[in-house]
């Protein structure tokens, strides 16, 4: 049996006149797309364009909700209560899923963004509220996050499928957590390094999806190198959802 792995990327993060990444090129290499829902990035026009690209390329559509923090790109930790997080998740998820329905498709999974992603990895109460909100919206949805996290435990408790991801363009600390942005080694920009890491990670039993970021410098080169390396290694790249 061939090794199978998902390749996901944070996309749809442009906003108004601010253009972040070449989404059209990135949609060509991924199997799943985490599309911003308007709180940390993205807007209705960008969301609709992202959905169209997902349909055109057969890419699984994921909601990528974050803190209500356009100015900080969702990377600032905000003291939002768990019930507020759950309500804002539903607001963002419903918006993207409504656009998806109009295009004849659906959101298949949810992956939190930035500081919210890291909070849900450690904050048991917030993770439970978050998973319960997703399950209430649609129990067929999956959650995407880091293995062994509070969110994985909350997902299991809510009866949701949990997909475990690993990062090919971020530095990893000895405890498995990510090197904080702004510190040396936080970002991997060498496509060959990212590609080699992807092939290594694809063979691990505790990894369902590989992630790179659309705002990483040289993201297109990284994405193409990773996809080519996986293909050359005989790894089947397909959506987990």
63-73 pLDDT tens trace: 999 999 999 99
pTM for the full predicted model? 0.95
Rounded to 10°, the helix 219-232/191-202 angle is 40
| Predicted pLDDT of residue 172 | 80
**What is the pLDDT of the chain when averaged over all its residues?**
95
The pLDDT > 90 percentage for the chain reads: 88
Structure confidence by residue, pLDDT tens digits, 212-225 = 999 899 999 999 99
Question: Is residue 171 predicted with pLDDT exceeding 90?
Answer: no
| Predicted pLDDT of residue 181 | 83
Question: Is residue 227 predicted with pLDDT exceeding 80?
Answer: yes
Which residue's structure tokens are 């000895």? 174
Question: Is residue 140 predicted with pLDDT exceeding 80?
Answer: yes
Confidence of residue 238 (pLDDT cuts 50, 70, 90): very high
Average pLDDT over residues 200-208: 94
Average pLDDT over residues 226-234: 98
Average pLDDT over residues 39-61: 98
Domains, the chain: 4-237 (3.20.20.370)
Structure confidence by residue, pLDDT tens digits, 75-126 = 999 999 999 999 999 999 999 999 999 999 999 999 999 999 999 999 999 9
| Predicted pLDDT of residue 177 | 76
> SS in 3 state form for the chain?
CCCEEEEEEEECCCECCECCCCHHHHCCCCCEEEEECCCCCCCHHHHHHHHHHHHHHCCEEEEECCCCCCCCCCCCCCCCCHHHHHHHHHHHHHHHHHHHHHCCCCCCEECCCHHHHHHHHHCHHHHHHHHHHHHHHCCCCEEEECCCCHHHHHHHHHCCEEEEEEECCECECCCCCECCCCCCCCECCCHHHHHHHHHHHHCCCCCCEEEEECCCCCHHHHHHHHHHHHHHCCCEECCCC
Confidence of residue 184 (pLDDT cuts 50, 70, 90): confident
């Amino acid at each position: 049996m061939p090794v199978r792995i998902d390749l996901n990327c944070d996309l749809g993060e442009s906003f108004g006149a601010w253009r972040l990444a070449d989404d059209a090129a990135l949609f060509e290499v991924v199997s799943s797309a985490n599309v911003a829902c308007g709180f940390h990035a993205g807007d209705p026009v960008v969301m609709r364009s992202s959905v169209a690209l997902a349909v055109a390329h057969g890419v699984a559509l994921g909601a990528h909700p974050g803190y209500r923090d356009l100015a900080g790109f969702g990377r600032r930790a905000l003291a939002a209560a768990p019930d507020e997080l759950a309500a804002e998740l539903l607001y963002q998820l419903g918006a993207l899923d409504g656009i998806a329905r109009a295009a004849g498709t659906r959101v298949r999974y949810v992956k939190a963004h930035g500081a919210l992603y890291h909070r849900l990895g450690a904050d048991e109460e917030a993770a439970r509220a978050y998973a319960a909100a997703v399950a209430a919206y649609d129990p067929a949805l999956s959650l995407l996050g880091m293995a062994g996290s509070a969110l994985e435990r909350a997902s299991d408790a809510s009866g949701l499928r949990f997909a475990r991801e690993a990062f090919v363009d971020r530095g990893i600390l000895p405890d498995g957590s990510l090197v904080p942005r702004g510190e040396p080694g936080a970002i991997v920009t060498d496509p060959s390094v990212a590609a080699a890491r992807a092939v290594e990670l694809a063979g691990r039993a505790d990894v369902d999806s590989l992630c790179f970021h659309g705002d990483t410098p040289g993201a297109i080169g990284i994405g193409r190198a990773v996809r080519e390396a996986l293909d050359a290694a005989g790894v089947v790249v397909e959506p987990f959802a």
